[in-house]
Amino acid sequence: MAELPLKEDVFNEVGEEHAKSAYSFVLEAEKVAIRQEDLVSARVVGYLLLYPFTPISCKTVTTEILSIHRFYSKEVTEKIFVLGKMYIGHLIRPFRKFARRTPVSSQHVSRPSFDSLSDMIKTTLVQYPKSHSEAKSNALIRDGFRCMVTRKLDLEYLAEMKDLRAAVQKEWPNDPLTSTQCAHIFPKSTNSGISGTTPVELQKLECAASLWAILERFGYSDISQELNGQHVHQLGNVLTLDITLHDWMDKLALWFEKAPDGVSSMYKLPEDVTFTVDQIIQRRLNPESLLTELDLPLPNPTYLHIHASVCRVAHMSGAADYIDFISRAMEQLDVLAEDGSSADFLAGALSFFTTSPYVVTGSV
């Protein structure tokens, strides 16, 4: 978690006067914040200004802050805290995926064994994946049965596909192996299978609707339809990742930023990573029917940019750590301690996870 920079050091270009004015109110809120959740909330708003998703998103947040000052001049600080909590609950938290309390076995007991890559492609490759398992199979074919970052080979498929196993033993005997998983950029919970009337189902529906409303105000008007329902499993929204990297991505600790001056599919990590349709194994095992990016789209750069923007704001503001703290406490705490020591936690849990979307309209 980092303190917001001084007002004198930011928004000094022509045309940034409104943003600078709005930022000064955020700095005041940060200065007077007493509770940790309020401090984090103020910093979320500040970093959304400093690291905007788009120019439209900067204008949107600026307008919200200046409208708060116009309509709630005596409550500016409190309203900025509320605005920050809304963004934590409805923009950042939807991207933070949590492990199931009862782990699901990673063993694919019913998955068939294939003699050849050709058989595997014919059996499993679908144009429009409708499930997590179909998305995983498509992504593995596109990614050459490797983690897109570490390039380690998938252990389970290597054991099941005879020609893949023979090729690896002959041509890549020293390549490291790992267990891979299918990682969604936009989590499945934001669009897939959201329906019902129970309180939990209605909360999920509200959370998803709020996320799309925020992103539309940030200038992303088409994404909710692109990822609607089962389309959340499309190849543009998934990556094959080593199981550890997938866990980091779920925890907002791994994201992909465009490498400066790099090709369109190059991303900056400790070392630059270029995403490609991996044809090496295809060429070796099935050269007459190579699949290309037209058949197997790469991860969508816009989706990756949104995910990276969420992660950056979450970490710089401290929201990622505080969400983790709240979630761990919710799992461990059954009742409020008699001495009231859990009061701060409960206030944070309620405000972060149940704050309704908060929109102030106006113009600057």
DSSP secondary structure letters along 289-301: G---TTTSPPPPH
Where is pLDDT greater, at 245 or 356?
245
**Which pLDDT belongs to residue 124?**
77
**Which pLDDT belongs to residue 153?**
92
Residue 47 has pLDDT above 90, yes or no: yes
pLDDT, tens digit (0-9, with 9 covering 90-100), for 51-102: 999 999 999 999 999 999 999 888 899 999 999 999 998 999 999 887 654 4
At 266, give phi and psi (nearest 5°).
Answer: -100, 135
Per-residue pLDDT band for 209 (boundaries 50, 70, 90) equals confident
**Which pLDDT belongs to residue 262?**
59
pLDDT, tens digit (0-9, with 9 covering 90-100), for 273-331: 888 888 777 777 666 667 776 688 899 999 999 999 999 999 999 999 888 887 777 66
Per-residue pLDDT band for 186 (boundaries 50, 70, 90) equals very high
**Which pLDDT belongs to residue 21?**
95
Q: Using CA atoms in the order 156, 159, 163, 167, what is the torsion angle rounded to 10 degrees?
A: 90
Among the residue ranges 89-98, 123-132, 187-196, the one predicted with the least confidence is: 187-196
Which strands sit side by side in the sheet containing 273-274, from one edge to the other? 257-258, 266-268, 273-274
Q: What is the CA angle 208-126-255, rounded to 5?
A: 45
**Which pLDDT belongs to residue 346?**
47
**Which pLDDT belongs to residue 275?**
82
**Which pLDDT belongs to residue 207?**
79
